[in-house]
Each structure stands twice: as structure tokens, then as C-alpha cells.
Chains A and B, each alone.
Chain A
């Protein structure tokens, strides 16, 4: 068997240009499909992880998609602020199990500083890798990626930059102290700097001379993440929120489904392109194998003369196609993972969803299977021609 495969390998590379072209086509097709599998599955997993029990995001009037992107994934800018008292109103609703406030506005090296309560950590079951959670104003906990990129450790101090892009003025007069670093969770928390709501207020409220009650009444948060107490909440609560002046409800499940549909159109195009490449590769392999069988009919007939049964001769042709598919699988997977890694680097530079080329999907088993199936289908007719070969052609004109 090994010798037959070695023989098939030598025959394959006896036509190096044809073999290289077929290899290129197959590898590109398999690489595109592998890339689509890796990216779409990682995005879906990341979205599912980040949604972690959030049923509704309540923000200022504006686009629900924008509110969801800003509130859940921290990708877009928020639509504005909402009064702090909205949080109490939401918590008093019988259909609300939990309402977590978020306050945005500043950033560190492009990573968002998010003011919230400890419930936000509980939502993602975050646990510290070092230090502890914040307990006082201007204490901050770093997500794993922020800690890694910034090099900050427990005890370090930093000043946030105004705005979410990391290029605004620094709040030098209000320096945060790092009191903890979260263990990597693969969620959006990895890319956030977390602190208490009071910290955000402390940084942004200047020389306030109002009395405490008025002061409290004017305080704002950016949005609230709501979990329903019962499924009935999905029917009632968004309508109630949207009826309140200045408030907008965004259902993450609906918005992410819409988002994935939009992203899905892109992945479908890429997947279609991959399939098209594979079909072209299959056709090319078929033509090459058929040509090879015709060109090599004397070699194959000689093998029959030397005692090879028809199945072994046909097997040689199939093995040649399988050698090609095996090599294309390796190159295709390497290409898919390489492209995913490159995309991951690009996304990381934009502090976006994490995608890595080092991750393996269970669905990737379909890549070698697809390659083998395509190779066998392409080689089927040439192999049949080899199986049916007339060996007497080796002799002089025996009719």
C-alpha cells in the first residue's frame, strides 16, 4: 500500500505544472471554506458568550443596533446617556430580574473604561487572575487583553483618555489605581477596563455645587443591561421602554440575528467562492487525471502485465488524486488558519471580537473529507478507464 502511494506520488509530480495548478485551485477552495468555518464559528461563539443572559439593552433614543453594539460588544459609540433614575424604574418593573448599569465615556489605549456594578462581573462569571474587584472610586480592574497590551499590573496607576477612541485629553487629575486583573474569559470583558459607576462620575463631574438630591437626580448612566424574570418580558418590556421619553430598547437576540444575517451574506459569498474554486479544481483534476490515464495507458497496461489486478491499477489513479487532496488539505487548512490569524490581528488592533488562527473547529474535519470526496469523484471516471484498460494493446496489433 505504501509503495502504491509512493508510486502515485511520483506519477503526480511527473507533471509538475499540472499538479501545481490543481494543488493551487484545491488549496484556495479548501482554504476559503476553512476560513469561513473558522471565522463564522468564532464570531458566533463570541456573540453567544457576550450576550450571556442579556435580554434587553436600554439606552438613549437612537438606533437599536447601535445601542446593542455599544452596550453588549462595546464596538460602536453609544446613542447618548439616560438618567440614572431609569435604572430604578427598570428594577421596579416586575418583569425585570436584573438591570445592570453601564457608564461609558473614557478609554485607556483605545480600550473602553466601563463604569458598572459588581453584577456586571457576575454576568460573565468573571474571576480575578490577580488582585480583587474594585471597592472604591478610581479603583479599576483590567480585562486580560488590556493588562497584556498595556503592561499594567496590580498597583499601577493610569489616567483615562476622554472619549472612546483613546485619543482624547487625559484626565490626569483623576488617576485610576489597578486593583485587579481578570482571568481571560474569551468575552468582551477581556477588552475592557472596569470600575465603579462612582469613578466615572468622579472623573466627569467638576465643581458641582448643587445639593445632593439635585445632584443625584441629574446623574446619568449610558445604558442598562436587562435580564427578564419571565419570557413575558420579551413581549411587554421593550414596548414599555420605548414608550418612555428619551429611552430606546434594543433586543440583542433580534439585533445580533440581524447583524449575523448581514455578516452572513458576506460569508455566504466567500463560501460560494470557495465552492466555485473547488468545483473548478475538481474539473481540473478530472481533466488532468483523464489525460494522465490516456497518456500513461502503456504504463498502466504494463502494470497489469506485471500482475496488478485491475483494482490496483484503478487504485493507483485514485491514490494520485488522494495524494493531491491530502496535500491540498494541509495547504488549505494552513491558508484558512493563516487568514484567520491575520484577521484576528486586524480585529485585535481595532479592539474588536477575538478571532484566532490557533483555534480548531470540529467542522474542520469536513475539509479533508470534502477534499477526499472531491478527489475521488474527479478520479472516478479516469480510475474506471484504468480499470477497464485493454492490456493486449501492449502486444502488437492484436485487434
Chain B
């Protein structure tokens, strides 16, 4: 479950952003929409514990993320957060298998090769473990990034513009995979997007519309 309670963030030399209160139950999908500069990325950064709220709280699974110490936030992110960036950010220096080992290495935990193999198979990526990201198609790379995000069974899955620059068919597949994998982990899926196709594809999703005026409505 994600709760926003009186949340706001003030940039030192920029606008003040305030966010409407909301509550997204565990396993639900939250769609964060808004034009560029409306605060989508700021909200994701607040949810990920990368920024500390100027006021209010972001509660994830009952934990006030902003109140955690930096060290606790790192550990919390590793244990509870999955993230799919828009540009995927798979490490070009590493193989697919090594990219998927990263979440374990970052959390200083033993790598689980069986879990990696299971996910690769589920996502139709078997046989590609030794490949480098540049040897993958766009769709395959996106599935690897998805696998990396859900590998450790997160309670929140953040996806930043997951359908940007994808054709309709690929965008549909990406959304389907995201929702399937989030459901498998019973994770709350948060999609930040300005892509209208996402709202059409996910009519059951809770919508958080952000406006440039920084007055947000749920």
C-alpha cells in the first residue's frame, strides 16, 4: 500500500510542488500523469526515498519512507522497491545474467541463480543470459529491465514512462508484462507517464493527475 499524506517538496531555486493525499492499496495500479515539469519524477523520487519531503509523508507498506535514515532508505529500496527506468539503464559492460545479479550484489546478498533462470524463462529470455544488452532487441532489453525490477519480489514497482518510444503493439505487451509481474509480487504498480495509451489500456488504474501549477488532484 502507498499513501501520500500532505506531501510537498520545495526545490531550493525552483517551484514548490504539493501532492494530493491518496491511498493506493497493495496490488493496485496507480497512474501518475502530467505534462513535463508537473512533478512526476519528483513524486517517483519521493516514493523511492531519493528525496526527503519538505512536508507530509510518503508511506509504503506502513513505513514513512522520508523518516528513514539514508542507510535505512538504501536497505529499504533494495528490499521493497522495483524500478524500471525509461531508458532501461542496463549495464553495457555486463551480461544479461550479471545485470540480473546486480540487485543481489547491491543488497550484499547471495545471488540466486535459480530465481534468475526462472524469471528469464518466464519472460522468454532463456538462452540470452550470456548476451550483452547491445545484443538484445528493444523488447528483450525491456524484459530484462523488468526482470531486474521484480527479481527480489518488491512491494512497490515504479515504472517511468514504460511505453515511451514504443509502438502500440510493443507498448501493449510492455504494460501487460508489467501488470502481470506486479501482480505476481503483489506489488503496487506506479506508472509515471504522459502517454494516453496507458490510461486506455489500464482503465481500472487509480489516476493521479499532476498539473504544472503544482496543484494536484487525485
Contacts and interface: CB of A to CB of B under 8 A. Distances in A.
Given A305-B77, A307-B74, A395 B160 contact: yes
B77 A398 contact: no
B91 A396 contact: no
Given A7-B98, A303-B102, A307-B75, A396 B160 contact: yes
Given A302-B102, A398-B45, A308 B78 contact: yes
Contacts of A124: none
Contact of A307 (B41, B70, B107, B160): B107
B217 interface: no
Contacts of A14: 92-94
A394 B89 contact: yes
Interface in A274-325: 296, 298-299, 301-310, 312
Contact-size category for B: 35 or more
Given A14-B92, A396-B40, A399-B11, A306 B45 contact: no
A307 to B, nearest CB: 2
Contacts of A299: 89, 91, 93
A299 to B, nearest CB: 5
Interface in B61-83: 70-71, 74-79, 81, 83
A399 B11 CA distance: 8
A302 B107 contact: no
B127 interface: no
Contact of A306 (B36, B77, B87, B111): B77
Contacts of A398: 41-42, 44-45, 51
Contact of B89 (A3, A298, A312): A298
A307 B161 contact: no
Nearest to A394: B85
Contacts of B48: 305
Instruction: Tell me if A's interface is mostly helix, strand, loop or mixed.
Output: helix
Interface residues of A, number: 28
Contacts of B87: 298
Contacts of A349: none
B106 A303 contact: yes
B14 interface: yes
Contacts of B111: 3
A289 to B, nearest CB: 14
A298 B90 CA distance: 9
A3 B71 CA distance: 21
B130 to A, nearest CB: 13
A11 interface: yes
B117 to A, nearest CB: 17
- Residue among B36, B77, B81 with the highest chain A CB neighbour number at 10 A: B77
B162 interface: no
A392 interface: yes
A394 B102 CA distance: 16
A85 interface: no
A304 B70 CA distance: 11
7 contacts: A7-B98, A14-B94, A303-B102, A303-B106, A305-B81, A305-B83, A312-B108
Given A10-B94, A305-B77, 17 more contacts: A7-B102, A296-B93, A298-B87, A302-B102, A303-B102, A304-B106, A306-B78, A306-B83, A308-B78, A392-B51, A394-B160, A395-B160, A396-B41, A397-B37, A398-B45, A398-B51, A399-B14
